[in-house]
Homo-oligomer: A and B are copies of this chain.
Amino acid sequence: MADTAPPPSAAGRSQSPSPSPSQDAGRLPRPVPAQRRYGNRPTMKDVAARAGVGLKTVSRVVNAEPGVTPDTERRVKEAIDALGFRRNDSARVLRKGRTASIGLVLEDLADPFYGPLNRAVEEIARAHGALLINGSSAEDPDREQELVLALCARRVDGLIVIPAGDDHRYLEPEMAAGVAIVFVDRPAGRIDADVVRSDSFGGARAGVAHLIAHGHRRIGFIGDQPRVHTATERLRGYHAAMAEAGLPVAEEWVALGSTEPKRVRAAAEAMLDAEHEPVTAVFTGNNRVTVTVVRVLAERERPVALVGFDDFELADLLVPGVTVVAQDAATLGRTAADLLFSRLDGAGGAPSHVVLETRLVARGSGEIPPWDAR
């Protein structure tokens, strides 16, 4: 999209040639002077020494455990402040077995659809005292797997995954080992696991039916790659609506593929400008596609109707307003996170499949009549 401004000046390359940091030059051949990790951070042992107490006492103070005299506590706290001590949670985690962190793997951190979802998950995690580690798969199954396994190696307590791939059997050992995993937006492939998703089929069917109700008979569908579950579900909804209205579907009216603007634009133009049976309305399979199609339609004379899956900011302020099938990303995230933490709290039982309803929001673009209406 926008031009990527080059970093103005090369970032501060002003390092002086490191004046021989430490003096421990000519000494005994000690293998390694028990050198501290973590940039020589003080440990509980250091705090204990400074406060003149035992290690465990420091631990008690740090963790606010009972059984420490106010006076001792004060001395320990002073030592902590003086040394700038901060507990090393890595070590704690190793001992305790829980990391108090969960992983969130989504498709693209930059996609505005995931912002509210990400935020909702974070809020719930925070309420449970857990940190959120996240990353995006860039819609690449290999990358998804790599990321998910890296998170498992970090021993996240649980994982929320928006799957890019369609085979998640690689997760079986992890799940058997007790990692809780909830899939969002799309079900897991070839394993049975918790899922929270929107009703893609029903939403798309309703959206297309809306267009049909407004007089359209030749309706295009532009969606995501067929590998993506939501894409095929929405396409199924499209076919269902058309079939229910007794309308035929020409092959040229359906275009699945990447959400890359160029591809979407080409697909849209092809079905709009076809000699034979140009479409009078378009249903778009997700917000990325919708935005590009809005651009294409804005350039043309002939008014073409549009309904898009996913709501997006400012959809109401465009002219015409964009009619959408809205799904609630925040609720999706919140529900998934709640489910995940209930699993972590010990909830057993069969995997649950939560399906959230969508909502058709009419704003104008979906109510445009066909331009060839007689």
Chain B residue numbers with a CB within 8 Å of A87 are 153
Neighbour of A357 across the interface among B2, B41, B133, CB < 8 A: B2
Q: How far is the CA of A314 from the CA of B214 in the complex (A)?
A: 27
A119 near B115 with CB under 8 A, answer no
- Pick the interface stretch among A50-58, A176-184, A229-237, A276-284: A176-184
A8 contacts B347, CB within 8 Å? yes
| Contact between B154 and A90, CB atoms less than 8 A apart | yes
Report if A33 contacts B (CB, 8 A).
no
A15 partner, pick from B12, B89, B94, B348, beta carbons under 8 A = B348
Known: A38-B155, A39-B177, A86-B174. A5 touches B354 (CB 8 A): yes
Compute how far the CA of A265 lies from the CA of B326 in the bound complex, rounded to whole angstroms: 25
Mark contacts of A255-288 with chain B using CB atoms, 8 A cut-off: 1 yes-contact digit, 0 otherwise.
0000000000000000000000000000000000
- Residues of B near A373 (CB, < 8 A) are none
Chain multiplicity (copies) = 2
Question: Is A319 an interface residue when CB atoms closer than 8 A count as contact?
Answer: yes
Q: Size range of the interface on A?
A: 35 or more
What is the CA–CA distance of A185 and B119 in the complex, to the nearest angstrom? 20
- Chain A 315-336, CB-CB to B under 8 Å as 1, else 0, gives 0011100000010101100110
Residue numbers of A with Cβ under 8 A of B are: 1-16, 18, 37-41, 84, 86-91, 93-99, 101, 108-112, 114-116, 118-119, 122, 126, 131-136, 149-155, 172-174, 176-179, 194, 196, 291, 294-295, 298, 311-314, 317-319, 326, 328, 330-331, 334-335, 338-339, 342-343, 345-352, 354-357, 359
Q: Within 8 Å CB of A9, what residues of B?
A: 347-349, 354
State whether A14 and B352 are in contact (beta carbons under 8 Å apart), knowing that A8-B357, A335-B7 are contacts in the complex.
Answer: yes
Contact A8/B313 with A86-B153, A335-B2 known, Cβ cut-off 8 Å? no
CB distance from A93 to the nearest CB of B (A): 5
Cross-chain contact B84 with A176 (CB below 8 angstroms): yes
- Chain B residues within an 8 Å CB radius of A39: 177-179
Contacts of A155 in B (CB 8 A): 38, 88-90
Closest to A349 in B: B8
What are the residues of chain B within 8 A of A133 when measuring CB–CB? Answer: 101, 131-134
The verdict on A90 contacting B99 (CB below 8 Å), with A109-B115, A338-B11 known, is: yes
A342 touches which one: B7, B110, B348 (CB < 8 A)?
B7
